[in-house]
Amino acid sequence: KNQVEQSPQSLIILEGKNCTLQCNYTVSPFSNLRWYKQDTGRGPVSLTIMTFSENTKSNGRYTATLDADTKQSSLHITASQLSDSASYICVVSLNTGGFKTIFGAGTRLFVKA
């Protein structure tokens, strides 16, 4: 069964600290993996996208990694800011020639001052 599991479900960190969010998937055939940031009451915004051959991708203070062998991805946030408080959603697309995607449940991050 195609699934995307994220952990932790929620996380509280202090401003300025780093954190890492996890995403494990059992999706086949794999096309790509995306991390989205969703602010409360807003639509998701893409942070990174990685294909099978990419191990890491950065977008400012966000760095995503992908291990296609173990089917794991992580999103590392450096020097967190209050504005990083949001839900982070891992989305895996299937290589079936269309838009078939599997959404993770998301990790809710709270950054405290």
Partner 1 sequence: GAVVSQHPSWVICKSGTSVKIECRSLDFQATTMFWYRQFPKQSLMLMATSNEGSKATYEQGVEKDKFLINHASLTLSTLTVTSAHPEDSSFYICSVGDGYSYEQYFGPGTRLTVT
Please list the alpha-helical segments (H only) found in 1-113. none
> How far apart are CB 97 and partner 1 at their closest, in Å?
9
* Contacts with partner 1, residue ranges (CB under 8 A): 31, 36, 41-46, 49, 89, 93, 98-99, 101, 103-106, 108
> How far apart are CB 111 and partner 1 at their closest, in Å?
18
What is the Cα–Cα distance from 47 to 86, expressed in whole angstroms? Answer: 13
Which CB, 38 or 72, lies closer to partner 1? 38
Which CB, 11 or 78, lies closer to partner 1? 11
Torsion of CA 10, 31, 70, 21, to 10 degrees: -20
Which CB, 45 or 82, lies closer to partner 1? 45
Contact status, residue 45 vs residue 59, Cβ threshold 8 Å: no
